[in-house]
Amino acid sequence: MKRLAIFGSSGSIGLSTLEVVRKFPDLFKVEILTVNSSTDLLEAQIREFNPSLVVISDSKKAKDFRKRAGYRCEVLEGDEGLIAASGGGEYDIFVGAMVGFAGLPPTLEAIKRSKRIALANKETLVVAGELVIELAKKHGAEILPVDSEHSAIFQCLIGESSNEVAKLILTASGGPFRNKTYEELRAVSVADALRHPTWKMGNKITIDSASLMNKGLEIIEAHWLFGLPKEKIDVVVHPQSIIHSMVEFVDGSIKAQLSVPDMKIPIQYALTYPSRLPAEFVKTDFPSIANMTFHKPDMENFRCLALAYQAMETGGTAPCILNAANEIAVAKFLNEETGFLQIPEIIEEALNKIQIVHKPTIDEILNCDRVTREFSERLNIQEKINV
């Protein structure tokens, strides 16, 4: 039986992970759960899965939660609690399902303990990819991707030689705005951006999908996971989301991994690798698929993707700046403080103004994240929403 530490158990990846656990109660035991502030949901999870330790990032929520009776598990709080749980808790597999930069420090602790990392938190590799990969090699930690795109590439590469790979092809749904003009994008609302046509995700990731920043972060993540330069990482828009990604080889052959859009599939694979276990998820029915279409992403109207390629090429702390500025810009958009098209403007301004450090230490990465957030918060780039 494998013991799981699920960091981010209230989000879409965390909830899907718990669904997999329910299917295999003889294979997995939940030892650690963490949430930001969703204590009512955490309470239900504790009653069902009986973890030995939980962490609540919101300190006030944690203090209120401790007043409730009937829990035999230890309750920690804040960033310190996340690091303590990752660095000292008893578990075999670390499920990195937190959203944003906050997922990096506990992931580093898990790597230092040589754990299997089932990684859904793409920001970990975006902001500190070189450091993370070097640390994983040093400690013998196994990083298995949970993102459907990177899981697809990982599966396509099994049994293949890396020098025979011509390119990686990440697929993108294109989000809800893939057919909109620039003028139409000026008028989109928060509600419009949150209506993803394929996936059900948290608000931040859904906005990233609408702006194509989600795909931008994924190309940087793919660069570190698979050791290929930006010239060998392409993006193609595939609205049906049946092909999750592809690998083209030097002889012109292409491997693709296909399935219905269901995150439980890559999650289960990361937890059970190298085995494949039966699942009761919805199966792909090819006769019911009317068509599968593909086209190039529009990097003029959706500039976040172009900025991600730029940051990856620059290297150093540029991807950290990209990520931190994006998190602030998305928060401003969700709060209706700025328009959808101002998200890339905020990011570009940060990339142009903040000094980039090459070969950064973890302290320099943490400082870069802080400085970028402060800079982006002060920016007053606005455009009326719903013009």
The conformational region for residue 70 under phi > 0 = left, psi -120 to 50 = alpha, else beta, is left
Query: Residue 383: its pLDDT value, please?
Result: 47
Query: Residue 385: its pLDDT value, please?
Result: 36
pLDDT class of 70 with cuts at 50, 70, 90: confident
At residue 386, does pLDDT exceed 50? no
pTM: 0.90
Average pLDDT, integer, range 159-174 = 95
At residue 250, does pLDDT exceed 50? yes
At residue 280, does pLDDT exceed 90? no
- Structural domains for the chain: 2-145 (3.40.50.720)
Gap between the Cα atoms of 191 and 179, Å rounded: 17
The conformational region for residue 281 under phi > 0 = left, psi -120 to 50 = alpha, else beta, is beta
By the 8 A CB rule, do 177 and 270 touch? no
Average pLDDT, integer, range 176-201 = 83
Query: Residue 199: its pLDDT value, please?
Result: 59
Mean pLDDT over each residue of the chain, to the nearest integer: 93
Gap between the Cα atoms of 243 and 235, Å rounded: 12
Query: Residue 284: its pLDDT value, please?
Result: 83
pLDDT class of 67 with cuts at 50, 70, 90: confident
At residue 145, does pLDDT exceed 50? yes
Report which residue type is found at 352: N
The model's pLDDT over 72-90, given as tens digits with 9 standing for 90+, comes to: 899 999 999 999 999 999 9
Gap between the Cα atoms of 334 and 193, Å rounded: 9
At residue 218, does pLDDT exceed 60? yes
The model's pLDDT over 17-58, given as tens digits with 9 standing for 90+, comes to: 999 999 999 999 999 999 999 999 999 999 999 999 999 999
At residue 347, does pLDDT exceed 70? yes
DSSP string, 59-74: HHHHHHHHTSS---SE
Most confident range, picked from 86-100, 182-196, 286-300:
86-100
Stronger pLDDT, 261 or 198, i.e. the higher one: 261
At residue 65, does pLDDT exceed 70? yes
At residue 382, does pLDDT exceed 70? no
Query: Residue 205: its pLDDT value, please?
Result: 85
Average pLDDT, integer, range 164-171 = 97
By the 8 A CB rule, do 150 and 168 touch? no
